[in-house]
Amino acid sequence: MIDFEIRDPVFDTYFLFVQTSEAVSRHVQARLRNAGITPVEFEVLLALLKNKETMNPTEISRRIHRNKNTLTGVIDNMERDGLVERKRSRKDRRVINIRATGRGRELYGRLAEPIGKIVFDAMSCFRKEELAEFSRLLQLLRRQALESSFWQSQEDKGYYSSNRNQIKSPVDGNHWGEDTEVATRLHSTAPSNEVNTI
């Protein structure tokens, strides 16, 4: 069993990260709430309008790093509210594409500037090189978090060996062994690929 000290630097950094994220994001969330849209719905509009106007659900889920099943409900709500529409692909009728409606575009256009100002004001404390390093570290952290949660819930995908105490790494397939070894490996393993951003 892993014995963590409550004042461990990992915990200090984690709670600082959470508190900072909440402090920065609450202003954005309040603006979105007043406009009648959720943060995830705004992410979907951002993905559609910033990258390409039409995307299928799989592309959207990968772009915004959300579970596809969860995203289905989000898109259902957005379609109900007239923010997006579903269209069958002309090339492959089995594929359903998602695109923003005029109302979705209007809402995004109305929110983009005030939300952009909030974000830019919050991040203005960084110099250009500091922002690049901060982004790199956040991508590393996000990759680790995504891989860990995926690995923990995907026994049927082969990430666990038959012995529950012998855990396979989703990065290289090596066994991580007992819990103490897992902790060591988690702190020492660096990601090999970049994570897509919106």
Q: Which tens digits make up the pLDDT trace of 36-89?
A: 999 999 999 999 998 777 899 989 998 888 888 889 999 999 999 999 999 987
What is the CATH classification number for the domain harbouring 55? Answer: 1.10.10.10
Asked whether residue 197 falls in the same domain as residue 115, the answer is no
pLDDT of 189 reads 38
Last residue of a domain, one of 77, 108, 125: 125
Asked whether residue 152 falls in the same domain as residue 179, the answer is yes
Asked whether residue 161 falls in the same domain as residue 173, the answer is yes
Residue at token pair 């705004």: 42
- H or E segment to which residue 55 belongs: strand 54-55
Distance CA 112, CA 95 (A): 30
Q: Which tens digits make up the pLDDT trace of 95-154?
A: 889 999 999 999 999 999 999 999 999 999 999 999 999 999 998 988 888 777 555 554
Last residue of a domain, one of 98, 125, 152: 125
Pairing of strands 84-88, 54-55: unpaired
Q: Which domain holds residue 135?
A: 128-198
List Cα–Cα distances, 79 to 43, 86, 125, in angstroms. Answer: 15, 8, 38
